[in-house]
Structure formats: C-alpha cells, structure tokens
Amino acid sequence: MGVRVAQRFVAVDDHERALAFYRDVLGLEVRQDHTFEGLRWVALGSSGQPDADIVLQSLVVYPETSPADQQALAELLAKGLLPGLVFRTEDCDATFAHLRAGGATVVQEPTDQPWGVRDCAFRDPAGNALRFSQFRRPRGDTSDGGGSAEPHFHNHRPLQDGTDDRSQEPD
C-alpha cells in the first residue's frame, strides 16, 4: 500500500515558546507557519527526514469545543497526559545533556531499558511528553564488534519493499 507518516500534530499553548524549544533547542527547521481564524499551525522537521513534519497546533482547533472541554484539554496538556513524541538519537547521553542545558524539563535521566534502548524523557514548554531513544546492542551480542545500531528482533523478516520488519518485540 505504500503509506508513510507525513505529519504528527502536537498541541501547544504558546507557539513562540514552543518554537524556541523545537527550533532553537532541538534544532528542527521551520517548514511552514500558517494562521487561520485565530488558530496557528507551525510545521517543523529534521533535515534528515524531509517528508515528515511535527506540526505545532493550537490547543483547541474546533470552534464547537465547549469551555469545559477547553479547560480539560489545557489541564491534560499541562500535566503531560496528551500523546507525546518519541525521537531517535544516536547518543542518548549527549542529547540529554544538550536538552537539559537548553532548559528542557527533565522527566527521566538516561536509562537502559529492557526492550533494547537507552532513553531519557523531557517535557516541552507546553507539557508534552518527549522521549529520546537510542538503540543499543542486546546483552551478549558481539556480532559486529561493538556498534550495532538496531536491536535484535525475533521473527525478523524482510517486507515486500525490501526493508526489514522491525515491528516484533525486541529481546
């Protein structure tokens, strides 16, 4: 079928504060910035992923949203309970140090997880949960002499387009 993710929307309560974080701290490039009827959408992305955008959107985008629902959304956002983002990084510890120095709110320091990654977590200025994940070699795997960038998966099989199926659970 050939589908790919093109955009992921992230609710923010202050676009300028969010831009200062996503553009200036994370280093994402601004690709589009639109306003319409008092709402704003800013698309950003990584130079390494030219066809995938993170879109910073206004918290409330539907005019029929009741004041009570608007308040509930604002409270969920502030608590970090709305869906977040997971980024891949080649060096979790360096990413952690950079983001902490940039003023990001630390949720979790770098930790080796049992599912084959080393990750850390932050909140963006609006409260969105952000994780930064680095693949690490499973314990006992020395097949490449020390630098495997992908976890090992059981039942690993190629897909029709020649890429690998990485949807299985890691060791």
Model confidence over 65-105: pLDDT tens digits? 999 999 999 999 988 899 999 999 999 999 999 999 999 99
Residue 143 lies in a domain: yes
Domain contains 160: no
Q: Which domain holds residue 10?
A: 1-60
Asked if the structure places residue 165 within a domain, the reply is no
Backbone dihedral region for residue 12 (phi beyond 0: left; psi -120 to 50: alpha; all else: beta): beta
Q: pLDDT (tens digit, 9 = 90+) per residue, 3-40?
A: 999 999 999 999 999 999 999 999 999 999 999 988 99
Give residue-wise pLDDT tens across range 99-145: 999 999 999 999 999 999 999 999 999 999 999 999 986 555 554 43
Give the chain's length: 171
User: Both 55 and 88 in a single domain?
Assistant: no
Q: How many CB atoms lie within 10 A of CB 125?
A: 19
> Do the domain assignments include residue 68?
no
**Residue 155: pLDDT above 90?**
no
pLDDT over 70 at 152, yes or no:
no
- pTM given for the model: 0.76
Q: What gap in Å lies between CA 126 and CA 15, rounded to an integer? A: 9
CA distance 83 to 34: 23
Which of 152, 28, 38 shows the shortest CA–CA distance to 87? 28
Same domain, 81 and 50: no
Pairing of strands 129-135, 85-88: parallel
Contacts 24+ apart (CB under 8 A), 100-106: 102/21, 102/24, 102/25, 103/25, 104/21, 104/25, 104/130
Contacts of 94 (CB under 8 A, 6+ apart): none
Beta bridge partners of 12: 58
| Cα 22 to Cα 77: distance, rounded to the nearest angstrom | 17
Q: Specify whether 104 is located in the same domain as 148.
A: yes
For residue range 47-59, list pLDDT tens digits in order: 999 999 999 999 8
